[in-house]
Structure 1
Amino acid sequence: MPDWEKRFRAPRVSLPEWAEDAPARSLFVSNATGTFELYAWDRATGGQRQVTDRPNGTTDGAVTPDGQWIWWFSDTDGDEFGVWMRQPFGGGEDTPAAAGLAPSYPAGLAMGRDGTVVVGRSTDEEGSTVHVVRPGAGSAAPTEIYRHPESAGVGDLSHDGSLLVIEHTEHGDAMHSALRVMRTDGSAVAELDDSEGGTKELGLTVLGFAPVDGDARLLVGHQRRGRWEPMIWDPLSGSTRELDLGLPGDVSAEWYPDASGLLVVHSHQARDELFRYDLASGERTRVETPAGSVMGATARPDGTVEFLWSSAAQPPQVRSTTGATVLDPPGMKAPDSVPVEDAWVEGPGGRIHALVQKPAGEGPFPTVFEVHGGPTHHDSDSFAGQPAAWVDHGFAVVRVNYRGSTGYGRAWTDALKHRVGLIELEDIDAVREWAVGSGLADPDRLVLAGGSWGGYLTLLGLGTQPEAWALGLAAVPVADYVTAYHDEMEALKSMDRTLLGGTPEEVPERFEASSPLTYVDKVRAPVYISAGVNDPRCPIRQVENYVNRLVERDHPHEVYRYDAGHGSLVVEERIKQVRLEIDFALRHLPRPAPGQGPALPARPQ
């Protein structure tokens, strides 16, 4: 078995979530069976068991504060549309967790210590709704306490269950949420809106209520100084306390269990570090972690910290500040890959950060520009099977944190407006020119690739920069922006209206300028597209519209359709998709001229 396949097949685990009042009871996600599913872990006995077992996997779940129940979201073949089920922690029958609620897209879940659960929902017909499930309600329908056509979601319940916070975008800006604290009967308590009704591009996000009875303080993230930082808000008194931790990047945090301090995650230039911040003294103390990325961290009741860590070179590990490995999956271990190198390139909107991985030998190399999704996301120094697979096959991999990416300040993220797609591609093109000019990349063997928003940028780039790319690989892409808007889930429609300034009917010229379908006749490179037939984010009809235009042109392309949603949770399916992409590239890329870089390897088996 080649190393690139081992990296996908090697069992891995998520950071375990633990029950607030029963910290020995935890819930985690693993691919140990070949499909990502939920697992229960009783730390007191060491017992582990698989909670869910579905053909297309399950990753969305939570354990109740008392540790008695596991809630998990049941959709159909990855379509993200379904209902919450629940199962006893020790095992037993799955039953509907919120009887009376029709299927929907999930929009947050908050669990109270008295058994109250608050469920966020989203549908095309109802918009965003919030419902309260009372303990002992039996078959009684949950109580609806909130409804609005714009996107909203449940944030958290206070420790005593008296207060609820939601994130909402009633002002129409889906990129910058406001917060509303309510009681569980739906009565309003307080509002915090840094966007001032949508007139300012400032957002807030919920980080959690203080984990102590009688303490109404709410930890939130704000952008008042141009990046994400934590702030403590007391919705009862109206007071706020901004916390200036003296760190240059984005800062997130969660409470320590006794509410005496905060566990701080600092993200800066594609890497993370942890700190403990003492609320009384204001002292900041480093929590030691290796160089790389922290994909999750939690403070335990005994004061230790558990965190999920990896780097581009080393696979994920769930570690503790005690020095121990918290949870070690059984079976084979994923082989290491090569580390990333940082590149900083001057672009039209400022300095662009790119991460580069190279195979052994001398360039120029065939090079894959693997474009991240989101777009409000960023590539980091973390372990990823797909870039490592390209490196194993002799390719250099360049990942660009273009304008629109998170982690480089609010102005960088919010630059993505109205000229959607075209802005990101300007940054990618600047890095492409650097890669060719530096001798890293062979200009005749450049591959543009990505999934989701990255797939969208791939198709858009092939049409707007046709001479730059030798090949395109687009997974679950937006291909026809107008049709995608009309077919996608309601929350994404809100985001598109924010990004483009309206609907396709209101700003048709912007949708046309940002749609790959507009430029399909200019595409010169062979195109490979993969798509999930149940995808609610990048629906299949708009992909078919683009493919039909390629067929009409008799343009070289291949399409792979699979029975899942926005990607797959099945390991063998994921391996198949990567194998097909690599095979397509090796068949269609030109061979290098003598003395102009390494030859391509054999096709994958």
Structure 2
Amino acid sequence: MTTDAATMPDDAAAMPDWEKRFRAPRVSLPEWAEDAPDRSLFVSNATGTYELYAWDRATGAQRQVTDRENGTTDGTLSPDGAWIWWFDDHDGDEFGVWRRQPFAGGEDAEALPGVAAAYSAGLALGRDGRTVVVGSSSDEHGSLVHVVRDAGAPVEVYRHRESAGVGDLSYDGSLLVVEHTEHGDAMHSALRVLELGEGGEVSRTVAELDDTEGGTKELGLSVMGFAPLAGDARLLVGTQREGRWLPMIWDPVAGTETALAIDLPGDVSADWYEDASALLIAHSHEARGELYRYDLAAHRLERIETPRGTVSGAGARPDGSVEYLWSSAAEPPVVRSTTSGVVLDPPGMKAPASVPVTDAWVEGPGGRVHALVQTPDGEGPFPTVFEIHGGPTWHDSDAFAAGPAAWIDHGYAVVRVNYRGSTGYGRAWTDALKHRVGLIELEDVAAVREWAVGSGLADPARLILSGGSWGGYLTLLGIGTQPGAWAAGVAAVPVADYVTAYHDEMEALKAMDRTLFGGTPEELPERWAASNPLTYVDDVRAPVYVSAGVNDPRCPIKQVENYVDRLAAREHPHEVYRYDAGHGSLVVDERVKQVRMELDFVRRYVPGA
């Protein structure tokens, strides 16, 4: 792996810490080929752009696989380790085709020439060496799943207008599980297992698993993977039957379901050990994560020691060791092994540490709200940035984040709120935001804001609302519906005009929005208007900074322009920055530029401590 001047400037020693955290080379958790575990693939920003890298563990050799102007992060290895597959879109628009390249290097080629360009909805590569399953979605066709056998013509095995995608392919390539939302609830998937014939066609539907009861019951399922053994039809499935995510084993051929003796609070996911005798358990609770090994024969749960913080991903190696990506709010991410320490350490400048988080629990209108708080040196009350996470089905955690650390370096406290809609606090908390979209989340933000001011942490005259994606949406909605509360708003890749966004966004997100609102803008205009930032744009008092990617399929540029035009018509203080990428940028220089502009904007209106 090499670095260049974009990542390692000559004046690195004089570079401020906040910038070093963005520029310091970092790596993702390596993936390895199932039948060639010495061959790995990971993502790194070592050249100044996030790209895919191949790593031959036997020789130690690493090489850059992709090299595109706007970066590449979506890739995987074939089970035999012979090929690297990667998704090729146009400048971050997420619409494209799969390509592949030999592991040792060589020319890229379109991997599935008979499958039209579309948004990706999953990929499964069979360990039989014969079978490829690819999911796609588009406005024209809805959700599609194709099977390609022996490099032949693609066979369509699934089609529906509602969102769906590839779950997994069994070890021998005979069974395919599809996650679908045919019942119309895009937040809660059902599962269908299909048996594939010799040519890749569907020979029969083996089984269905649907906890939604036709969409009337809000229970979802997720695919965690088929057992990694020949002739083994067991499928590891995530369920919400206990009010949170827990794994169970479903055998669709035998028609059996096996519950697991896992008594842990919070959400639990799982993956197989290679011999299928145990499961690697990832446990997320109250914004932190940890790992366990679950012995299937003994029904015994054994904790795997990891530091306090967040485990962002983990995998069990063939020798039984576990590799995982760990960080905390104070400590930068590192790839570790349970047996050999640091596994993959990028060269060059190291990211400076930041400050740890403290936990705040605040009584809100829908229950206790969890917030993560970081403060700069000195005594409060501080100018305070409420940094709102995206998703909305996501959550902030005790993990390293260069953005919040930059605010802290400039004298601002940072408060991150896991509002209703966030994951990790049970199904009811995640599902609570329906129909009063955005407004419910902002009630929780308001409760935490009142606590922060009342506790002496935050200066009520110097409060900034900030966020990206769904957090950007909540920022614009918040400064319009709570105009007296905020001194500035910073919205990155936001939903700004929700009605226009719905009509322009990718098909899968339209399905999600119909689920959130209960229908389309035409069917429920009052509900959509109540949750639309554009409705309140004339009430905004705070100066506004907006950044947007011109190729963004999730928060398209036209709806951002509609909002900005209304601010301009009022001659309201605002700045807008448009850049040539999609839903965010994978280019380090671009990301540093954006953060610098956000800092400069806010410091002009709300000086730091």
TM-score (norm 1): 0.97
* Alignment match of 1:175 (pick from 160, 179, 187): 187
2:221 aligned with 1:204: yes
State how far apart, in whole Å, the 2-side matches of 1:120 and 1:150 are: 13
How far is 1:181 from its partner?
0.5
Report the secondary structure of 1:435's partner residue. Answer: helix
Contact 1:114 1:135 in 2 (8 A): no
Letter in 2 for 1:158: S
Letter in 2 for 1:132: V
Aligned equivalent of 1:596: none
- Give matches, 1:59-458, under 5 Å: 59-115=73-129, 116-137=131-152, 141-184=153-196, 185-186=201-202, 187-458=204-475
State how far apart, in whole Å, the 2-side matches of 1:217 and 1:327 are: 33
How far is 1:244 from its partner?
3.2
Aligned equivalent of 2:552: 535
State how far apart, in whole Å, the 2-side matches of 1:159 and 1:45 are: 29
Unaligned runs of 5+ in 1: 592-599
Contact 1:167 1:179 in 2 (8 A): yes
Report the secondary structure of 2:565's partner residue. Answer: helix
Aligned equivalent of 1:475: 492
Q: Percent identity?
A: 78
Aligned equivalent of 2:72: 58
2:37 aligned with 1:20: no
Report the secondary structure of 1:263's partner residue. Answer: strand
Aligned equivalent of 2:11: none
State how far apart, in whole Å, the 1-side matches of 2:128 and 2:226 are: 16
- Give matches, 1:28-67, under 5 Å: 28-67=42-81
State how far apart, in whole Å, the 1-side matches of 2:214 and 2:248 are: 20
How far is 1:197 from its partner?
1.3
How far is 1:199 from its partner?
1.1
Letter in 2 for 1:114: D
Aligned pairs, number:
589
* 1:226-270 superposed Cα distances (whole Å, 9 cap, x missing partner): 000000000001100111311011000000000000000010000
Contact 1:61 1:72 in 2 (8 A): yes
Letter in 2 for 1:111: L
* 1:552-602 superposed Cα distances (whole Å, 9 cap, x missing partner): 11100000000000000000100000000010000012x6xxxxxxxx36x
* Alignment match of 1:582 (pick from 599, 605, 609): 599
Report the secondary structure of 2:558's partner residue. Answer: helix
Contact 2:42 2:54 in 1 (8 A): yes
- Further displaced range: 201-210 or 181-190: 181-190
User: 4+ runs of 1 displaced by more than 6 Å?
Assistant: none
Letter in 2 for 1:153: G
How far is 1:532 from its partner?
0.1
State how far apart, in whole Å, the 2-side matches of 1:188 and 1:124 are: 27
State how far apart, in whole Å, the 1-side matches of 2:306 and 2:341 are: 12
* Alignment match of 1:505 (pick from 497, 500, 522): 522
State how far apart, in whole Å, the 2-side matches of 1:136 and 1:124 are: 27
How far is 1:441 from its partner?
0.3
How far is 1:323 from its partner?
4.0
State how far apart, in whole Å, the 1-side matches of 2:569 and 2:207 are: 57
State how far apart, in whole Å, the 2-side matches of 1:435 and 1:377 are: 23
Letter in 1 for 2:156: E
Report the secondary structure of 1:387's partner residue. Answer: helix
* 1:138-173 superposed Cα distances (whole Å, 9 cap, x missing partner): xxx311111000000001111111101110000000
Contact 1:254 1:263 in 2 (8 A): yes
Contact 2:44 2:51 in 1 (8 A): yes
State how far apart, in whole Å, the 2-side matches of 1:323 and 1:101 are: 42
State how far apart, in whole Å, the 2-side matches of 1:339 and 1:588 are: 27
TM-score (norm 2): 0.96
* Alignment match of 2:587 (pick from 570, 581, 584): 570
State how far apart, in whole Å, the 2-side matches of 1:515 and 1:60 are: 32
In angstroms, what is the RMSD of aligned CA positions?
Answer: 0.7
Aligned equivalent of 1:597: none
Contact 2:128 2:171 in 1 (8 A): no
Unaligned runs of 5+ in 2: 1-14
State how far apart, in whole Å, the 2-side matches of 1:413 and 1:202 are: 11
Contact 2:190 2:212 in 1 (8 A): yes
Letter in 1 for 2:148: V
Contact 2:261 2:299 in 1 (8 A): no
Contact 2:489 2:544 in 1 (8 A): yes
How far is 1:188 from its partner?
1.2
Letter in 1 for 2:164: A
* 1:316-338 superposed Cα distances (whole Å, 9 cap, x missing partner): 00000014211001111100000
State how far apart, in whole Å, the 2-side matches of 1:571 and 1:361 are: 31
Report the secondary structure of 2:95's partner residue. Answer: coil
Contact 1:77 1:534 in 2 (8 A): yes
Letter in 1 for 2:429: W
How far is 1:101 from its partner?
1.3
State how far apart, in whole Å, the 2-side matches of 1:132 and 1:245 are: 36
Letter in 1 for 2:407: W
How far is 1:100 from its partner?
1.5
State how far apart, in whole Å, the 1-side matches of 2:485 and 2:335 are: 41
How far is 1:114 from its partner?
2.2
State how far apart, in whole Å, the 2-side matches of 1:545 and 1:136 are: 47
2:479 aligned with 1:462: yes
Contact 1:456 1:474 in 2 (8 A): yes
- Further displaced range: 242-251 or 334-343: 242-251
